[in-house]
Amino acid sequence: MPAGRRQNVSILRKAKGLDAVQLNRLEKSFRLWADSSARADLDWARKRILLIFLLIRYTGAKLSEVLALNPFSDLDLDRHLVFLGKREGGDRPPREVQLSAALSSEVRVLLEDPLFKKAPEKALRVDPGHVRRKFYERAAACGFPKSLGAPEVIRKSRAMELMQNNVPLPVVQKIMGHGTPNLASALVAYSEEDLQQVARFFFERESARKTSARNAFFGKIEAIEAGDIQARVVLVTSGGDRVTTVITNESLVRLGLKKGLLITAEVKAPQVLLEKTDGDPRCSAENRFHGNIARINRGRITTEYVVRLADGTSICSLASSAMGRRLALQENDPVWALFNSFSVVLHRD
């Protein structure tokens, strides 16, 4: 890593913030909170806070920039862009920040609520103190110090996340709206179009990592125990669950795995077994997740089960329909999702 980049990463690390796993955990907390309201007016109020959080979390915008947005004129959801820092009669052009296609689609759905369209220019004009209180509450709900839920901390954490994902420094500077003179030479190598293309590539890759596989667990390596032929690797997910895998020592070296590294673990749906029992399952599977059946898709040959965990994570299991009839599982039934450590494949971006 070049010296300048190491220095910038070092500076960011010294600032208190959240790592990528903690950011994802905080995001899940916001989503579950927004989905749990029982009243229509409360539902809309929570959607506004969720939208504000998502824009700060993925654009690295300042709270004041997001609250000043008109979501119907300052977001181009067809081109997946948000225009930050627009000022009437201002000399400076707005800052264009790329969104992923998945986030654009989600924002479009949120904005379909008629209450957003009632006064579009004021749709996000929420009292900053109220926003901060809600952010602090969500951080506390995750077991974090409430100060780590501050919008400024989320903004800094996003910058660190981008740097750790090897997003080029000029792109990070453009996203964050930084224009420090010492980076002028680095920016010369990138045109505005280049910067936008690079941002689009990284954001779509980031989005795909989170959504392409239902049985994908993104987390941080907690422990590595190397044996003579194989190694045991344990990662902690954003929901606080642990996934154990066994890989060869050759794979351990080839992937460059080490404690604290962010990584994705995947397991195929046919390798996930379901067990309905009141106590702990009596089997040798190291990976055990307790949840409820959220959805069942019954076919003539196979049946798909989707298990929802307490933190909102979904695990998909695929079984023969004949076995499904013997299990006699129904939606909302409590169940254990089980898979052994040899079924888990690790991916490093």
Burial class (CB in 10 A: 0-12, 13-18, 19+), 325: exposed
| C-alpha gyration radius of the chain | 22
pLDDT of residue 107: 93
Give residue 94's pLDDT: 85
Residues of the chain scoring pLDDT < 50: 1-15, 180-190, 211-212
3-211: CATH number: 1.10.443.10
Q: Compute the 3-state secondary structure of the chain and give helix, strand, coil in percent, each to the nearest 5.
A: 45, 25, 30
Q: What is the pTM of this model?
A: 0.65
Distance (Å, rounded) from C-alpha 288 to C-alpha 202? 33
Which pLDDT score, from 0 to 100, does residue 135 have? 97
| Residues 308 and 294 sit within 8 Å (Cβ to Cβ) | yes
Encoded tokens for 26: 């905080």
How do the domains of the chain map onto residue ranges? 3-211, 216-347
pLDDT of residue 2: 44
What whole-number distance in Å separates Cα of residue 195 and Cα of residue 193?
A: 5
What HEC string does 101-125 produce?
HHHHHHHHHHCCCHHHHHCHHHCCC
**Which CATH code for domain 216-347?**
2.40.50.100
Q: In this predicted structure, what is the pLDDT of residue 346?
A: 92
